[in-house]
């Protein structure tokens, strides 16, 4: 009986020590970062030439489409159904490196039937309202890019585009 009492007292003491007070226990930590805003990205270089893009490393990839005019144009605006002739530069959010650029090929890219074009949804949404002569930053989350399709090399990647609108027709 005495041994049982000692064991119960010892078990109770261990349990009480493990519980401690709220002041003694460390606060839970979180490594979640706030989502990046368009202003967190840096775009340099002259309009009409391939830009340099710096992707921030102190914020999380945005989950919604970010649209920011780096340089405003004054020409015709893109509306649904238009054809937009553009130059673009693409970097990946996760690595910050260049993935594609129309400037490397020396030719612009036509986006026919904007709003319903055969491009990613981020472009169909992000080109509407853009004016000729504008340089625009589009940060496209995977759901508006290539999604989670395991067969696509850019699956689950947040895409960072800089687009120069040349003409609208």
Give the DSSP per-residue string, 61-97.
PPSS-EEEEEE---SPBP-TT--EEEEEEEEETTT--
* Residue, of 32 and 158, whose pLDDT is higher: 158
At 139 the pLDDT is 98
Q: Which position has the token pair 């689950």?
A: 156
Average pLDDT, the chain: 86
What does residue 76 show for φ and ψ, rounded to 5 degrees? -60, 150
35: its two tokens: 């989502």
For the chain, the distance separating the N- and C-terminal CA atoms, rounded to the nearest angstrom, is 95
Domain ranges of the chain: 31-168
**Those residues with Cβ within 8 angstroms of residue 136's Cβ, 6 or more apart along the chain or in another chain:** 67, 68, 69, 70, 126, 130, 162, 163, 164, 165
State the Cα torsion 88-49-165-127 to the nearest 10°.
Answer: 30
What is the mean pLDDT of the segment spanning 52-78? 96
Comparing CA positions, the residue from 113, 140, 112 lying closest to residue 126 is 140
Which pTM does this prediction carry? 0.79
At 31 the pLDDT is 56
Residue 100 above 50 pLDDT?
Answer: yes
Residue 67 above 70 pLDDT?
Answer: yes
Q: What gap in Å lies between CA 10 and CA 51, rounded to an integer?
A: 69
- Label residue 77 by pLDDT band (50, 70, 90): very high
Pairing assessment for the beta strands 84-92 and 109-111 based on DSSP bridges: antiparallel
* Residue, of 32 and 113, whose pLDDT is higher: 113
pLDDT per residue over 9-53, tens digit each? Answer: 444 443 444 444 444 444 444 457 899 999 999 999 998 899 999
Residue 136 above 50 pLDDT?
Answer: yes
58: its two tokens: 């102190």
Class of domain 31-168: alpha beta
At 33 the pLDDT is 86
């Amino acid at each position: 009986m005495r041994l049982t009492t000692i064991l119960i007292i010892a078990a109770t003491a261990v349990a009480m020590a493990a519980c401690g007070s709220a002041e003694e226990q460390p606060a839970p930590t979180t490594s979640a970062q706030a989502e990046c805003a368009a202003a967190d990205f840096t775009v340099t270089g002259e309009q009409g030439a391939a830009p340099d893009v710096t992707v921030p490393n102190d914020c999380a990839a945005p989950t919604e489409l970010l649209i920011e005019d780096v340089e405003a144009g004054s020409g015709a605006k893109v509306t649904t159904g238009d054809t937009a002739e553009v130059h673009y530069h693409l970097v990946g959010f996760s690595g910050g490196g260049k993935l594609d650029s129309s400037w490397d090929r020396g030719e612009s890219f036509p986006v026919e039937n904007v709003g319903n074009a055969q491009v990613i949804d981020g472009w169909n949404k992000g080109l509407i309202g853009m004016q000729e002569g504008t340089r625009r930053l589009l940060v496209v989350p995977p759901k508006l890019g290539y999604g989670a399709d395991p067969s696509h090399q850019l699956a689950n990647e947040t895409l960072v585009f800089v687009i120069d609108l040349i003409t609208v027709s």
